Amino acid sequence: MQPRPHPTLAVAFWSPKFILDVHLGLLKARSHSMEEHIGQLWHRLITRAAATGYPQAAVELTQISKAVGVLFRALGGDGGLRVEATTATAHGARRHWLQRLAGTHQQIELCWRDAEALRLPARIDCFPKKALNRDLYLWLAALAAGEIDPTQPWFQLNQALTKKTLQRFPGLQPRYQRLVKAQLALRPNLARLSPDEAAVERAIQLALRQPGSVTKWPLAKRPHQPVYLWLHPSPPVSASLVVVATPDESPTQESGKKAVDDKRRRRGERTEMPDGKKGLLAFRLESLFTMAEYTKVDRCTDDEENIEAAKQALDDMEMVSVARDNKPAASSLRFDLDLPAPAYDDTPLGEGILLPEWNYKQQQLRPDYCCLQPMLATTAQPAELPSHLKRTAHRLRRQFEALIPKRVWHKGQQNGSEIDLDAYLLHIAECRQGRMSAERGLYREFRGSSRDLACLLLADLSLSTDAWVNNNARVIDVIRDSLFLFAESLYATGDRFAMYGFSSRHRNHVRFHTIKTFEQSYDATVRGRIQAIKPGFYTRMGAAIRHASTLLNQQKLSQALLLLLTDGKPNDLDQYEGRYGVEDTRMALHEARKLGLQPFCVTIDEKARDYLPHIFGSHNYVVIRNPSELPRELPLLYARLTHS
């Protein structure tokens, strides 16, 4: 038997007023949805009508960045500069009425170069042919490889660079002529410009056809149309930001968050935190609210769920301002990289070692600039090889035993167990001819030979190694297993080796952890130190490499291998960031090579190819794509490096 509805409820739900309210609500929702749909269609239509590019012929910087980097450095460009996407900047030139209606073509990406990177457009689609857009990338790289005089006016500088580039590399002449022809086809019609704008446009076109012919630049009220073949007239210069640094997330760290890797370079500035009273300026303009000045969003704690919407908002910003919110919180989580208390820290060995550091801007070494502190794990207890590594270690030991030199006959010895018949017959023949060599050995000895080499493994123990790999192991655990198997393999060959780890916090505290010295034997004590390693702070590579080079050079053997195991690029809290840290590390490796050492880098950083060729050289590093394979690959790599 079905229950009967309550009569009061039935009247309330089916009253004429309720039905009218429902219909009005549906009409409003449908009207709002229709307005939004028509607005989107109108936006797409007017934007497409105002577009001037050729999407079908577009070339992305990611597709050609390697070729651009090779060409830039081959033509004399600074090898320490990265190749990055540039920042879109406002040009202020006259726009077509459709472009003004659509609100587009206000900004443009032009090429420029600074002390950190060569900055190129993220996408070029200005020409109708894909080959021309690709040629434009290569031409801009060749142009930026020349010597830039910042005191020259913009139009004279670009003419001088163009003229010198074509003189040095005549093979670029046909490509340049094709680009000039395509560029002139896009320039505005002189007849439709005002007299002053026409004079400027005429000078630009003449300078493109005949670089160096324009010596006096006409003046105009409005800026000219951008010139794609030239460098930026006034590259943006951002104020330096001083922010509390946190270790970079390892590229191997995986999480449930969706990430969008945007290669574009953004303009940034440091500013004061607004008071929040002028953020939303409300005025009635067809029932629209306009956001003025800023939107206060704490990006440390509030992430945009719609990542595409956040990226679109970022693309609309010409300047990204960063401010520190000093507002006290009711509760907070303290996350500082303070040093642990002495009772819980590792044991320092000595008073510290003063080391120099290379300042690439001044092109000189700063003497006694860094303090390196040797450390020894206090809580390390003797340990056995972890059970999950025993099978792999047994297989590697058997493979490495093949590297042990076999016993062979050593002929021509002054002393030995048997007479060397070949040497004796030669000695008799010389005596009968009236000449005799007193230095000739007449004996032979059956013994083994030794491998005249030493290896020092330097492991990066920065805080970034605390990241997870494939959600089942941390980077520090992978490094720990690698050290175990490396030591097991080299112990089987009898090669001299040492192992150290390093991290840093400012230049006055570079921690250099002793795991195994050259004089120590590999035993349970060393295994306990490997088991005790833990993530530290930051990565001041230069100081650690200099001290490791000193220790390795003291062995005085014919082959000395310096292996660096890392998961990222040099960085620290102070100015040891970006190119400064890269150049100091590069200089430390140059000093190591002058001592006769052989540096080699093993990394799991997927972005290492952007900076390691400049630091180590194109053949002195290897990237392990799957970090979990590092423990097995590291000993085999050592075998290949020392095979000769």
Quickly state the pLDDT bin for 639 (edges 50, 70, 90).
Answer: confident
Does 278 reside within a domain? no
Quickly state the pLDDT bin for 236 (edges 50, 70, 90).
Answer: confident
Across-strand partners of 460? 502
| Minimum mean pLDDT range among 25-29, 203-207, 418-422, 567-571 | 25-29
Does 563 reside within a domain? yes
Alpha helices in 408-540 (DSSP H): 421-432, 475-493, 524-532
Alpha helices in 384-462 (DSSP H): 390-401, 421-432
Most confident region among 27-31, 121-125, 443-447 by mean pLDDT: 121-125
Alpha helices in 51-87 (DSSP H): 61-74
Collapse the DSSP code of 502 into the 3-class scheme (helix H, G, I; strand E, B; otherwise coil) and give the result.
strand
- Give the chain's mean pLDDT: 79
Flag whether pLDDT at 527 surpasses 90.
yes
For residues 550 and 433, state if they share a domain.
no
Could you count the other beta carbons within 10 Å of the beta carbon of residue 209? Answer: 12
CB 320 within 8 A of CB 268: yes
Could you count the other beta carbons within 10 Å of the beta carbon of residue 300? Answer: 7
Residue 529 has a pLDDT of 94
The predicted-structure confidence for 293-308, as pLDDT tens digits, reads as follows 444 444 444 444 455 5
Angle separating helix axes 390-401 and 630-641, nearest 10 degrees:
10
Residue where one domain finishes, among candidates 146, 177, 209: 209
Does 291 reside within a domain? no
| % of the chain at pLDDT higher than 90 | 34
For residues 480 and 598, state if they share a domain.
yes
Which residues touch 479 (CB under 8 Å, ≥6 apart)? 459, 460, 461, 465, 533, 565, 567, 630
Top-confidence residue, 116 or 253: 116
Q: Global pTM?
A: 0.65
Quickly state the pLDDT bin for 594 (edges 50, 70, 90).
Answer: very high
For residues 165 and 196, state if they share a domain.
yes
The predicted-structure confidence for 47-76, as pLDDT tens digits, reads as follows 777 778 898 999 999 899 889 988 998 898
Residue 167 has a pLDDT of 93
Does 313 reside within a domain? no
Flag whether pLDDT at 232 surpasses 60.
yes
CB 357 within 8 A of CB 584: yes
Does 553 reside within a domain? yes
What H or E segment, with its residue span, contains residue 447?
strand 443-448
Q: Is 252 exposed, middle or buried (0-12, 13-18, 19+ CB in 10 A)?
A: buried
Tell me how far apart the alpha carbons of residues 279 and 259 are, in angstroms, rounded to a whole number: 28
For residues 459 and 512, state if they share a domain.
yes
| Minimum mean pLDDT range among 245-259, 322-336, 361-375, 426-440 | 245-259
For residues 414 and 540, state if they share a domain.
no
For residues 433 and 502, state if they share a domain.
no
The predicted-structure confidence for 170-182, as pLDDT tens digits, reads as follows 999 999 999 999 9
For residues 551 and 420, state if they share a domain.
no
Residue 356 has a pLDDT of 95
Residue 472 has a pLDDT of 72
Looking up tokens 């000395």 gives: 560
Would you mind telling me the total number of residues written for the chain in this entry?
A: 644
Residue where one domain finishes, among candidates 164, 194, 209: 209
CATH (domain of 523):
3.40.50.410
The predicted-structure confidence for 408-419, as pLDDT tens digits, reads as follows 566 777 777 788
Residue 353 has a pLDDT of 94
Helix/strand/coil (H/E/C) assignment for every residue in 318-343: CCEEECCCCCCCCCCCCCCCCCCCCC
For residues 482 and 413, state if they share a domain.
no
For residues 414 and 491, state if they share a domain.
no
State phi, psi for 136 to the nearest 5 degrees. -65, -40
CA angle 262, 108, 58 (to 5 degrees): 65
Does 180 reside within a domain? yes
Collapse the DSSP code of 77 into the 3-class scheme (helix H, G, I; strand E, B; otherwise coil) and give the result.
coil
For residues 82 and 150, state if they share a domain.
yes
Residue 97 has a pLDDT of 80
Nearest to 111 by CA among 93, 137, 75, 134: 137
User: What residues make up the domain containing 203?
Assistant: 55-209
For residues 628 and 507, state if they share a domain.
yes
Residue 318 has a pLDDT of 56
The DSSP result for 583-624, as a single string, is HHHHHHHHHHHHTT-EEEEEE--TTGGGTHHHHH-TTSEEE-
Does 242 reside within a domain? no
Residue 429 has a pLDDT of 84
Does 239 reside within a domain? no
Quote the number of domains for the chain.
3
Residue where one domain finishes, among candidates 448, 464, 481: 448
For residues 575 and 439, state if they share a domain.
no
Tell me how far apart the alpha carbons of residues 333 and 341 are, in angstroms, rounded to a whole number: 19
| Minimum mean pLDDT range among 211-220, 253-262, 452-461, 570-579 | 253-262
Alpha-carbon radius of gyration of the chain = 34
CB 446 within 8 A of CB 408: yes
Residue 181 has a pLDDT of 94
Residue 129 has a pLDDT of 93
Q: What is the mean pLDDT of residues 132-153?
A: 90
Quickly state the pLDDT bin for 252 (edges 50, 70, 90).
Answer: very low
